[in-house]
Amino acid sequence: MNKEHEFKKDGKEESPKPAGSENAQDQAGSVTLPNKEYQELLARLSELEALKDRLFRSAADYENSKKRLLKEREEFVKYGQENLIRELLPVLDNFERALSHLEDSPEAHFKNIAAGIRMVFKQLLEILKNQGLNRLKAVGETFDPHRHEAVGFVHGPGQEDEVVEEIEPGYLLYDRLLRAAKVRVRATDPSSQRSASETSEQEKSEEIT
């Protein structure tokens, strides 16, 4: 004989009622199910719960994918011109060299030319700045192997490892290093000198480990 289970209309199981109380059950709105149907109902309920869990997981995966794609798109827009801007850095260097030579000339004609070139140079810098290009500050800063490349040392009193001369400017593209600045560094102790290659190799090995 199958065990029967009683449910109210809200789906909650009731305790079995004594025989002869069917009318009272019907009036109360209860439903009586055989044990087999009850087990099938539980199995379907379990399937629905599993399906709901999968749907929640799929929705979470979709949101994460959407956020990841949005971030990748922003990164692409932000750094999409990186190669072009890197190729323009030598042009900026040549502008500065030309201006330095022209402004040092005693002839007024060359000084007028230098003023015109400087205007074009500033215009170019402003365009590149709007694209995220920023020049690194070097002179007076403490030598940072992640941003500076030491190409020489200067002996004399002062703070050890202070950048005393900039040979070639360095640049950032937003927060990403585009080119390290080539600098000369103060060394008060000759035994503390290290070549740029030694510094670079040590930093690379530290990053790997």
pLDDT tens per residue across all 209 residues of the chain:
445 555 554 555 555 554 444 443 444 456 676 888 888 888 888 888 889 888 989 888 889 888 898 888 888 888 888 999 999 999 999 999 988 888 777 777 777 888 888 999 999 999 999 999 999 999 999 999 999 999 999 988 888 899 999 999 999 999 899 999 999 999 876 555 554 445 545 554 554 44
pTM over 0.75, yes/no:
no
Query: Tokens 């290659």 belong to which residue?
Result: 197
Q: Rounded CA gap, 32 and 22, in Å? A: 10
CB of 51 closer than 8 Å to CB of 18? no
Query: Token pair for residue 179?
Result: 């080119």
CA 174 centroid distance within chain = 11
Q: State how far the alpha carbon of 87 is from the alpha carbons of 81, 84, 93, in Å.
A: 10, 5, 11
- pLDDT at residue 194 in the model: 52
Beta bridge mates, 166? 183
Q: Is 123 helix (H, G, I), strand (E, B) or coil?
A: helix
pLDDT digits (tens, 9 = 90+) for 38-84: 888 888 888 888 898 889 898 888 898 888 988 888 888 888 889 99
